[in-house]
Structure 1
Amino acid sequence: MCRHIAYLGPSVALGEVLVTPPHALVRQSWEPRRQRNGTVNADGFGVGWYAGDDPAPGRYRRAGPVWGDETFADLARVVRSTALLGAVRDATWAGADGEAAAAPFAEGTLLFSHNGAVRDWPGSLAPLAGTLPPAALLSLAARSDSALLWALVRHRITAGDDIARAVADTVLDVAAAAPGSRLNLLLTDGSTIVATAWGDSLWYLDEPGGRTVVASEPYDDDPSWHEVPDRTLLAATRTDVLLTPLKEPAA
């Protein structure tokens, strides 16, 4: 379920990443090519981007499908950034959270998205939720598995973990608590992208000139796209991409 993408590189209009390519994120909202679960990503969307010298990103999120939002079309045409994260949300069960459930989630300099689903939610993660401070639970952005995953990642970062370790250890903890979950996470601070391939597709594109794209699926047919093996942590900057295998938790 869901599709997401992150970009680092020279300043571009948001639409150059999210709209213009032939199989861009907007088209993936109704016609994904490699989505393994779900078919239509119409239950919300969002984009976060970094502007100027402000380290905290701006966001635009809505509860409906991206293809019908004229304001997003205008923003994507004129807003430029050197780093962004966009996501479209798979059609799912009814809920009252609206755009609060749409990625990217944000805090400080960070943007976060989850492509997947936690098995046997919410009961399977009750023990992990219990490790969070009460304030973290009371301030969840939405009543969803993705919002709780974001809280778990944030808690590790606040405790001193770097963003790659926080993402990797959260995935391993959740996979142990809820086997069979799909846990493709995507996180950026505007200078680094961290992502996991765990149960769904993940690809990356690194090009000359310091341009790096990490996405659920390629937005075009450029042969330079690389598929990330399942059970892998990706950490990327504008010039380097590092892949680290993640070990399946013991049964």
Structure 2
Amino acid sequence: MCRHLAYLGPSVPIQRLVVDPPLGLYRQSWAPQNQKYGTVNVDGFGVGWYADADPVPARYRRAGPIWADAGFADLARVVRTGALLAAVRSATDGCAAGEAAAAPFVAERWLFSHNGALPGWPRQLGDLAATLPPAELLALEARTDSALVWALVLHRLREGAALGEALASTVREVAEHGDARLNLLLTDGVSIAATTWGDTLCYRSDPGRGVLVASEPSDDEPGWIHLPDRSLLVATADGVTAQTID
């Protein structure tokens, strides 16, 4: 499993979102509070963010733990953004290691992260992989279950699906192939979509401060709302909607 977060709101330093919160993503790499599977998240990390007037996100990823990367500490201190997706990774058995396996995954204007696992990876998921065109399978960024889920989501986005529908329909399809855990997080820099399917997810939306969607609260302040399992969330800087995934 992993921990991840997404943010939309006023431009702030990355450090304020990822490093500074007392229970935030940085700390969740070694001491998550609500993680159901795994104990630490030190098998890689990544941050994707959007700059003003540029719809294509930048990305910084590494194979090791977030707290061991001095370069990230400098970047997080000086780079500001109003839209971000970040994740720390706990690798799943049978999945590739390395920087390419760390979220967020990126294509065009989208950033994506998967917190979960696909049982039977990779041997028992041939039917699922076969639903994708060969060219899209060959373009997988890493040999991981998360990269396959991302390819399924991306196929729907390129077919014109909205963020929320791309996630929900992917979850429904993958869930037919076994007891998968599918907490997904997706942003285009304007909206955030997320699913709960087997692990925790919460959000906080504050007027003037934007919205933060995360695997678990990054502090003890009031206002965090925990979503029930099998939910779909869609958020903008102005508000949040949630519904059950049927």
| Normalised TM-score (structure 2) | 0.97
Pick closer, same or farther for the CA change 1:122–1:92 going to 2, 3 Å: closer
Aligned twin of 1:65: 65
Deviations 1:47-66 (A, max 9, x none): 00000211000000000010
Q: Distance in 2 between matches of 1:89 and 1:162?
A: 26
1:137 aligns with 2:137: yes
Please state how far the C-alpha of 1:96 moved relative to its aligned partner: 5.2
SS of equivalent residue, structure 1 residue 177: coil
Please state how far the C-alpha of 1:158 moved relative to its aligned partner: 1.3
Higher mean alpha-carbon deviation, 119-128 vs 55-64, is at 119-128
8 A Cα contact 1:210 1:239, kept in partner: no
Pick closer, same or farther for the CA change 1:199–1:94 going to 2, 3 Å: closer
Unaligned runs of 5+ in 2: none
Deviations 1:68-126 (A, max 9, x none): 00000001100000000000001444765410000000001000000000111123321
**Counterpart amino acid of residue 122 in structure 1:** P
Q: Distance in 1 between matches of 2:125 and 2:163?
A: 21
SS of equivalent residue, structure 1 residue 167: helix
Cα RMSD for the two superposed structures: 1.2
Aligned twin of 1:222: 221
8 A Cα contact 2:95 2:145, kept in partner: no
Pick closer, same or farther for the CA change 1:94–1:230 going to 2, 3 Å: closer
8 A Cα contact 1:43 1:92, kept in partner: no
Aligned twin of 1:201: 200
SS of equivalent residue, structure 2 residue 56: strand
Q: Distance in 1 between matches of 2:182 and 2:204?
A: 21
Deviations 1:214-237 (A, max 9, x none): 000000011200001100000000
8 A Cα contact 1:125 1:174, kept in partner: no
Q: Distance in 1 between matches of 2:7 and 2:83?
A: 5
Unaligned runs of 5+ in 1: none
**Counterpart amino acid of residue 243 in structure 1:** A
Identity, % of aligned pairs?
60
Q: Distance in 2 between matches of 1:129 and 1:163?
A: 21
Q: Distance in 2 between matches of 1:71 and 1:92?
A: 26
Aligned twin of 1:117: 117
Q: Distance in 2 between matches of 1:38 and 1:189?
A: 29
Deviations 1:177-220 (A, max 9, x none): 12x21100000000100000000000000001151000000000
Q: Distance in 1 between matches of 2:136 and 2:83?
A: 27
| Normalised TM-score (structure 1) | 0.95
